[in-house]
Structure 1
Amino acid sequence: MTHRDEFQALLRSRYLNLETFRRNGTGVRTPVWFAHDSGTTRPDGRAALYVYSNQRTGKLKRLRHTARVRIARCSIGGTLKGRWFETRARVLDDPIEQQHALGVLQKRYGLLMRLAGWAAAVVGRLGERRVIRIEMPIV
């Protein structure tokens, strides 16, 4: 499979393995939901991948000190199904961009995303959600 074909397969995948890095360089892998935004609805016109997580998670803490990440398609349990792509990511601080990203995720995951939001609201953590923007790797 070519580099480009592998990346297209990643975009079709249901789960993404997101590897963030500790200060000592050790990678920590986490299977996550993600959604692709082609950039057509974004003010800057740039494509990106979005992931959301609770602000207390290790991956958000690690992203605050380094933007370096690796991504690969995977199963729900994190078993790799494709090759790794090196790229960069950041936690969104702009509430408008965060709402846009949550809308992109909602469109992809529908009822499952609504149920996750409901569960977060029930336990009082809905306001702790943060969105990670992953830059599109060059393929």
Structure 2
Amino acid sequence: MSRFDGENVISVETYRKNGTPVRTPVWFIKEEDRLVVHTGGNSGKVKRIKRNRKVRVAPSKFRGEPKADFVDAQAEIVADPEAVKMYYSLIYKKYGLMGSFTKFVQRFTRSNTEDVLLFIRPV
């Protein structure tokens, strides 16, 4: 997990039904044994993880270019509004005004869906 220390973005690789990998750059919070990512409940990431919890993650640049090798992981979808609220406070702390601005923009660009967290644990 130390490979994610000091990083701001990770690339999360999920898999389509046919096995094709899809890489998505995301902000995250690193906790002791997991990475926590926020996303919309109807996002492509969530749909793919519902079918296959196996993911790969790597530190990445803002546009998703990996900065290190990917590691195998398992993702868990957590749809707890209180946990999402707590996560936002951690995002604001880590990313400052950019975190607040992103949340503001998401209110207008996302469909009417509940936000969820992805708990990602390397295996």
Identity %: 28
The structural deviation recorded for 1:34 is: 0.8
Contact 2:38 2:84 in 1 (8 A): no
Contact 2:84 2:115 in 1 (8 A): no
Aligned pairs (5 A) from 1:1-139: 7-38=1-32, 47-123=33-109, 128-135=114-121, 137=122
Amino acid at match of 1:78: G
Q: TM-score of the superposition, structure 1-length normalised? A: 0.76
CA-atom RMSD in angstroms: 2.1
Please give the alpha-carbon distance, in whole angstroms, between the structure 2 residues aligned to 1:122 and 1:129: 14
The structural deviation recorded for 1:123 is: 4.7
Amino acid at match of 2:88: L
Q: Which has the larger radius of gyration?
A: 1
Contact 1:117 1:126 in 2 (8 A): no
Number of aligned positions between the proteins? 123
Contact 1:50 1:132 in 2 (8 A): yes
Which residues of structure 1 form unaligned runs of 5+? 1-6, 39-46
Cα offsets for 1:36-70 (capped at 9, x unmatched)? 123xxxxxxxx321111222321111011111110
Please give the alpha-carbon distance, in whole angstroms, between the structure 2 residues aligned to 1:34 and 1:81: 15
Which residues of structure 2 form unaligned runs of 5+? none
